[in-house]
Amino acid sequence: MTYQRQPDFGTPESHSGETVTLTIDGRETSVPAGTTVMRAAAEIGTSIPKLCATDSLKQFGSCRLCLVEIDGRRGTPASCTTPVENGMVVHTQTPQLQKLRKGVMELYISDHPLDCLTCAANGDCELQDQAGAVGLRDVRYGYEGASHLGQAKDLSNPYFDFDPSKCIVCSRCVRACDEVQGTLALTIDGRGFGSKVSPGMASDDFLSSECVSCGACVQACPTATLTERAVVEIGTPERAVVTTCAYCGVGCTFRAEMRGEQLVRMVPWKDGKANRGHSCVKGRFAWGYANHKERILNPMIRESIDQPWREVSWDEAFAHAASEIRRIQAKYGKDSVGGITSSRCTNEETFLVQKLIRAGFGNNNVDTCARVCHSPTGYGLKTTFGTSAGTQDFDSVMQADVILIIGANPTDGHPVFASRMKRRLRQGAKLIVVDPRRIDMVRSPHIQAEHHLPLRPGTNVAVLTAMAHVIVTEGLADEDFIRERCDWDEYREWADFVSQPKNSPEALQPVTTVDPEELRAAARLYATGGNGAIYYGLGVTEHSQGSSTVMAIANLAMATGNIGREGVGVNPLRGQNNVQGACDMGSFPHELSGYRHISDAAARKLFEDDWGVTLDPEPGLRIPNMLDAAVDGTFKALYVQGEDILQSDPNTKHVSAGLAAMECVIVQDLFLNETANYAHIFLPGSTFLEKDGTFTNAERRIQLVRKVMSPLNGLADWEVTQNLANALGLGWNYTHPSQIMDEIARLTPTFAGVSFAKLDELGSMQWPVTDKTLAIGTPVMHIDGFVRGKGKFVVTDYIPTDEKTGPRFPLLLTTGRILTHYNVGAQTRRTGNVVWHPEDLLEMHPVDAEDRGLKDGDWARLASRAGETTLRVKITDRVAPGVVYTTFHHPATQANVITTDYSDWATNCPEYKVTAVQVAASNGPTEWQEEYEALSERSRRIEHDVEPAE
């Protein structure tokens, strides 16, 4: 599309069912009751001048530019704060209004720099537009008096500048920070002529303030007061393409605003169903990695990992890769090779990789990063409800009365959804947080959790069982719902189990360390507080009892009837942008797309007939099994698409041993990541900006990813996989990803109604999309009954992890993410986000730090039974005594050297969240870190630059 701003109707839409009819400038129109005069006028194409009003914020009425005349009413009311009435007659343009508006605009311009020709917002400035709209041609007041001109700019933020001399104090930025983001970092300081926007009372600049750089203030600003650096450097955009963000599982929709093939800015799309016009610092600003100097654009090969890389043509790379795969299979057997799909790539690209492995390699040795994050979600929800995904759309949270967050940190991991959640909490919903850390949701501006249950890491099942004990023994279960919708005999068995005295909050307190009375109060609130919605994350799944915890959550929801309508449900907050889609596409070794087991002869025949091959009915190897087999000498080649298992998977030494034992490792990625240290073939990947396809977010929403620029490496990721397949003799001939989606829809019942044409028309669809669902799909699951028939209650007995603390390792380490970085940091570390988080830190309670003689900022040695590393200490009471916490965004830390290979009993999802450790003072990096850095340096050598970079 060519560049144009999204329409702005001035004030939010009214959803009233009552209709009001009025006349505006002689034209009769009907609108919902509660609509403002400004919006009613905008909807019939009449633009009333405005500066403080925008439809993403509540009406404010401060700029006095939107005045109108109404028959029978005295004065000139502001149209943005005046609701419509039946029979109202409105005049938006009269001599009196023209005079008043021109006078108001004169006052604004008299205190504003007249540098329009050189201003970055020239041609994209609402103040400039409105000056023209009111016919301002001269300013009578002159520029000799007191003014705000010449004030110093705040250049502290890496992405945008704040120029107070251009501020008209419309308060839109402050209101956006309050209403949209919910951080309340900005304020209006002073009064009258001395009023000014300030980034917090205790801060001198944006960087040191509580601002989270979500961009809501920049988007709301009607002048050049808040301006993106890229707009200053490149110029205003000339076209825009709507696409989907490639960071977390929220799946925000953006307008990629372009000048030529240069991306100028990413602006959140107001019609995006997942983000509703909001964004976070990553999606809004952290896209510079696409053009980073370290990005690899040419295929490379090498005979052994101690040699430098040699750049080759695409044809040579594909031929060499195919030759190696066939050589290894001929020598070691067809099961000696496998692959890993990417949760960062599109559905179409992921589908092709698993098809390549099943149809081309001839086995089911395919797995995905969901193995190490949300595979227990797939197992647990399919067992209890019949589907391997969450039950609600994101809008559903606005109908919730009680929100239970367990093992998730929404403000850091899913910040755009967290903002919506906080909005609902400020409206009066109650919050329960189950987490060993005091995350921001426990207490932040105008948010206070009703209950925080700071459990001991690894005891999720015990806490949920204790909550179930309270609900059942106090008669709080919804028996009518259970009898109608669930298996009553299974419920009785479960109820008898949780009712046992050993499962009471008091009996389990020594295990969980949670106060029994607080736990009882939380259980009562969830069961009786109205619509109860549960949101969970990796703090649930990444445990040895991850699948048990997911089923325990499902048990609670079924027992209280909190399933099958808006405002309730079981909602996994997915980590990566397409981790849901990667699972949907058949990336697990035991499942075809749509979660049908590979042993299902009917499902298998469907694919065999379509693909013209015979598929192996036996499940293949999971990622841990591939590595084990490599160490044992039976697994010899691996194709890894867009995944850095050496940094992201547990027990780094075991991963490196497995990779080192392979004869051919093929890495397809943007950068020479840590896994590429052990690669023999490197195939350059493409960014989301350079491809067409679809992503599926955490609410099962399928959205288009549209190409906004040509791939710098020459090929989109799906084309790379197709060329490799054809080098193996498969004869694929896709010419566009839409054809791959047609194949997915043909073979996958839950995607039966999905096509690029429908997605383009509707904006998005939520699977299942079948003949029995609405065109948009299924926003809320299990309305009339569970997919599996009757809901299944599962007894989930608490079994302690095998990872024990003791005299050598007395502390428990748990891990997580931080707002400004994403996953292993390969993308965000190559953007301005490193300003906020240049290194991983170890959070320790003051008592534990004092016992070890550690001060804030000291180097510490972090050791477990698996390995050790060093990092700096951050002393905080966000963690309880006995618990330490760190992130895993920086390869220099190698946090997963510490984590063990214990995993979930059902899915092999690693137990990242519970590792027994000891912390001691240190002087710097460990021997392992130094060895690893040397290996990484060797791996970065390319033939045309053999010597390591300085």
**Whole-number pLDDT of residue 149:** 86
**Whole-number pLDDT of residue 939:** 66
**Whole-number pLDDT of residue 888:** 87
User: Residue 549, CB half-sphere, CA atoms under 13 Å: how many?
Assistant: 35
Instruction: Identify the CA nearest to 635 among candidates 335, 252, 943, 863.
Output: 335
- Residue span(s) of the chain under CATH 2.40.40.20 come to 811-938
**Whole-number pLDDT of residue 935:** 65
Domain range 397-572, its CATH number among 3.40.640.10, 3.40.228.10, 2.60.40.10, 3.20.20.60: 3.40.228.10
Cα dihedral across residues 849, 850, 855, 856: positive or negative:
positive
pLDDT digits (tens, 9 = 90+) for 301-341: 999 999 999 999 999 999 999 999 999 999 999 999 999 99
pLDDT digits (tens, 9 = 90+) for 88-145: 999 999 999 999 999 999 889 888 988 889 998 888 899 999 989 999 888 887 777 7
Number of other CB atoms surrounding residue 520 within 10 Å? 20
- Residue span(s) of the chain under CATH 3.30.70.20 come to 160-291
pLDDT digits (tens, 9 = 90+) for 699-744: 999 999 999 999 999 999 999 999 999 999 999 999 999 999 999 9
**Whole-number pLDDT of residue 949:** 34
By DSSP bridging, strand 337-341 and strand 637-641 are parallel
- Residue span(s) of the chain under CATH 3.10.20.740 come to 19-133
What's the CATH number for 19-133?
Answer: 3.10.20.740
Please compute the mean of the pLDDT values over residues 173-180 and round it to a whole number.
94
Packed helices 488-498 and 546-559: angle between N→C axes, nearest 10 degrees = 110
DSSP 3-state of 754: coil
Whether the Cβ atoms of residue 167 and residue 223 lie closer than 8 Å to each other: yes
Q: Which of 575-579, 620-624, 771-775 has the highest mean pLDDT?
A: 620-624
Give the contacts of 894 (CB within 8 A, at least 6 positions apart): 647, 652, 869, 928, 929, 932
Longest dimension (CA), the chain: 92
Number of other CB atoms surrounding residue 516 within 10 Å? 16
**Whole-number pLDDT of residue 825:** 87
Residue 932: pLDDT band (50, 70, 90) is low
Tokens (6 digits) for 580:
């849901």
Claim: this prediction has a pTM higher than 0.95: no
| pLDDT above 70 coverage of the chain, percent | 97
CATH architecture, domain 300-373+579-693+704-755: 3-Layer(aba) Sandwich (3.40)
Residue entry with tokens 């329009």: 116
Tokens (6 digits) for 414:
């899913």
Residue 1: pLDDT band (50, 70, 90) is very low
Whether the Cβ atoms of residue 635 and residue 619 lie closer than 8 Å to each other: no
Q: Whole-angstrom Cα distance, residue 753 to residue 620? A: 30
Please compute the mean of the pLDDT values over residues 815-822 and round it to a whole number.
91
Backbone dihedral angles phi then psi of residue 860, each to the nearest 5 degrees: -135, 145
Domain range 160-291, its CATH number among 1.10.3720.10, 3.40.718.10, 3.30.70.20, 3.40.50.720: 3.30.70.20
Q: Whole-angstrom Cα distance, residue 818 to residue 286? A: 14
pLDDT digits (tens, 9 = 90+) for 644-664: 999 888 888 899 999 999 999
The dihedral formed by the CA atoms of 106, 110, 113 and 116, expressed in degrees to the nearest 10 = 20
State the chain's mean pLDDT as an integer. 93
Decide if pLDDT at 929 tops 70: no
| pLDDT above 90 coverage of the chain, percent | 82
- Residue span(s) of the chain under CATH 3.40.228.10 come to 397-572
What's the CATH number for 811-938?
Answer: 2.40.40.20
Q: What is the DSSP letter of 395?
A: G
Residue 629: pLDDT band (50, 70, 90) is very high
